Amino acid sequence: MTTTVRPSQPSPGAVPPRDEKLPPGFSKVLGIYSWLDERLGITGIWKATAGHAVPRSANWWYVFGSAVLTCFMIQVVTGVFLAFSYVPSTDHAYQSLQYITHQQLLGNILRGVHYWGASAMVMLIFIHMTAHFLTGSYKYPRELQWITGVFLLFLTLGMAFTGQLLRWNHDAYWAIVVGAEQAARAPIIGAFAAQLLTAGPHVNGRTLTTIYATHMLLLPGAIIGLVSVHIYLVIYKGVSEWPVPGHPVDPKTYWAEYQEILHTDGEPFFPVGIFRDAVMSMLVIIVIGTLAIVAGAAALGLPANPLAAESPKPDWYLVWYFGLLALIPPRSTDLVIILFPLIALIILLSIPLANKGERHYSRRPWAIATVLLAAFATTILMVQGYEEPWKPSFNPLTSSVPTLPAKYYAGLTPQQRQGAHLMHNFVCISCHTIGSVGGPRGPNLTYVGDRLTYAEMVTRITYGGLNMPPFGTKLTNTQLNDIVSYLLTRRDPHGGPASGSTGGP
C-alpha cells in the first residue's frame, strides 16, 4: 500500500516561503504583518471599512460627513493645545486668553483655527443633513443614521455655545445669566435646569469650571460615542445610492436591490470614494488655516462685568435665534424659549417615520420647499439679529433724533429741564414717544408718571428690560436722577393712562 504524503498546511499567520523576486527583508515585514493580523484582524477591518463596496453613483454631495469629522478632529487637537494655557477660573480665564492671543507663540493662529474650525463644523453639519434630507437618504434602512445625526447636530451646537462662554468676556457672562433666566422659565424642571447651567443658585466660581468640563469632556465624549455608532451604521447598512426618479424605496425589496447595485455597479471605497473625502477634508483644512492666519480668532471684547447688565449677542450660528426672540411679542418669549427647541427636535426625529416612497428631490417638491423656506427665514432672522433694529442708535451725530418741542419744557424745574434734554442726548426719544414726538420701538412715555414709581424707573433704566438696553453704565447718578425727575412729571392731567401706554420705559 502506497502512502501519500501531503504537504503540511501552514499555520494561520505563518510566513510563506520567501519569493526571490521580493525585496530583501520584505518577508520579515510580511511576517510581522501576519503576526499582527492574526491577533488584531487587520485585514478584516480593512475589508469592512476602506474595502467595503459603495455605489458608483456616490458623488461629491457625499463628502460633507467626512468634512464634519475632519473639523471635529481639528477641534480636539487645537482644544488640547489651548488647554495647556487656558485657566478655567473666573479670575484668570479672560487674562489667559489675552496671553494666548497676544503673547504665546502662534497663539492667535491657534485660537483662530479653533474658532473657524467650530464655525466650519456647524456649517458643514447643516449642509450634510440638508443634502441627506433632499436625497431621502434617511429612508429605510438608514433611519438610525439620521437619528444619530440629529443628536450630533445638537451636540455640535452645544460644543460651539459652551466654547463661546469660555471666553468669559462681557457677552459670555451675560449669556449665562440670560440662559439661566430662560431655563428657569421651563415648567417643573426650570429651577433645576437653571442651577445646572450656573452650577449653583447664581453665577459663581464653579460656573466656568462646569462649563469647561462640559466643553472639554462631556460633549466631546458624547460626540465620539455617537460618531462611532454613526460610522458603524454607515458601514453596516452601506452608503446610499444616488436616488433615481421613479424608483421608490420599498422595505420589502430594497435590501436585495441595493445588494444587486453593489454587485453590478459598485466600487471599493478605497481608493475612489476616499479620494473625494480626502480632497474635501484637505480643502477644509486649507480654508480654516487661511482664515486663522488672515482673520485670526474672534475678538475677546470687554472682560466680564457683573455690575454692567447687557443684552448678549451669540456667535453667528445662533444669531437667527437671537433675532427670533427679540422680534416676537414679549408675552410669547417664554413659550418660544421652551417649545421651539423641543418642537425642532421632535420634527427632526420624526422625519425617518416616512421611510419609504420616492427619494429623488424632483419627486418630493415639499422637501425642496422646506429647505428653501428654512434658508430664507434663517437668513432674514440673521440679518435682523445683526442689525438689531429693536435697539436704538446711540450716536445722535449719525441719526435723526427727534427733539421735544418747547411746550414740553413749560413749568419744569432746572433739573427736570436737564432730564428732558438728556432724553434727546441719549437717544431715548428715538424709541419712546412723548406726546406726538418720538419713535415707536419702546412703550409710550407720555404719561409714564402715572404707571411707574421713582424706584421702578431707576431700576428699568439702569438694568433695561425686554428689548430695552441697560443704561446703568452710560449715565451718571446725576443724569439718571435728572431723567427720572422729568419722567415723573409726565402725568395725565385728566387722571387716566395714555392709550396703549403699557409697559415701562
Q: Helix 333-350 and helix 319-327: axis angle, to 10°?
A: 130
User: Angle, to 10 degrees, between the axis of helix 274-294 and the axis of helix 64-83?
Assistant: 40
Dist. CA 369–CA 70, nearest whole Å:
30
DSSP H or E stretch at residue 54: strand 53-55
Determine the residue type at 362.
S
* Spatial CB neighbours of 40, under 8 Å, sequence gap ≥ 6: none
The predicted pLDDT at position 392 comes to 53
How would you class 360 by CB atoms within 10 Å of its CB: exposed for 0-12, middle for 13-18, buried for 19 or more?
middle
Contact (CB, 8 A) for 327 and 389: no
Do 97 and 167 form a contact (C-beta atoms < 8 A)? yes
Q: Which of 373, 371, 426, 416 is nearest to 396 (CA)?
A: 426
Cβ-Cβ contacts under 8 Å for 187 (sequence gap 6 or more): 338
Burial class (CB in 10 A: 0-12, 13-18, 19+), 207: buried
**CATH fold match for the domains 53-387 and 406-487:** no
Residue 199: per-residue pLDDT: 84
Judged by DSSP in three states, 60 sits in helix
Three cell numbers at 396? Answer: 445722535
Determine the distance from the C-alpha atom of residue 243 to the mean position of all C-alpha atoms in its chain, rounded to a whole number. 30
CATH for 406-487 (3.30.565.10, 1.10.760.10, 3.40.50.720, 3.40.50.10300): 1.10.760.10
Q: How far is CA 324 from CA 160, 369, 370, 382, in A?
A: 19, 21, 18, 9
CATH class held by domain 53-387: mainly alpha
CA count, 13 A, side-chain hemisphere, 111? 24
**Which pLDDT score, from 0 to 100, does residue 308 have?**
62
Low-confidence ranges of the chain (pLDDT < 70): 1-25, 307-311, 330, 389-402, 440-441, 465-467, 495-505
Q: H helices of 328-413, where?
A: 333-350, 365-387
- 11: its cell numbers: 499555520
Beta-sheet strands, E only, within 262-306:
266-268
* Amino acid in the structure at residue 284: V
**Length of the chain in residues, anyone?**
505
> What is residue 388's three-state secondary structure?
coil
Asked whether the CA dihedral 175, 179, 180, 182 is positive or negative, the reply is positive
Q: Could you give phi then psi for residue 174, rounded to 5 degrees?
A: -75, -20
SS3 476: coil
Nearest residue to 483 (alpha-carbon basis) of 502, 458, 504: 458
Closest among 112, 89, 90 to 100, alpha carbons compared: 112
Give SS3 for 372.
Answer: helix
Q: What pLDDT digit, counting tens, does each position of 8-32 carry?
A: 444 444 444 545 566 666 778 888 9
For residue 371, the tally of other CB atoms under 10 A from its CB is 15
Is the torsion defined by CA of 366, 368, 369, 371 positive or negative? positive
Helical ranges in 140-218 per DSSP H: 143-165, 170-184, 190-198, 205-213
Predicted TM-score (pTM) of the model is: 0.79
Q: Tell whether omega for the bond before 17 is within 30 degrees of 0, i.e. cis.
A: no
Give the closest residue to 137 by CA, choosing from 73, 55, 67, 72.
Answer: 55
> What's the CA gap between 401 and 403, in Å, rounded?
6
Q: Where are the domains of the chain?
A: 53-387, 406-487
- Enter the C-alpha cell of residue 172: 459670555
Q: What is the 3-state secondary structure (H, E, C) of 31-53?
A: HHHHHHHHHHCHHHHHHHCCCCE
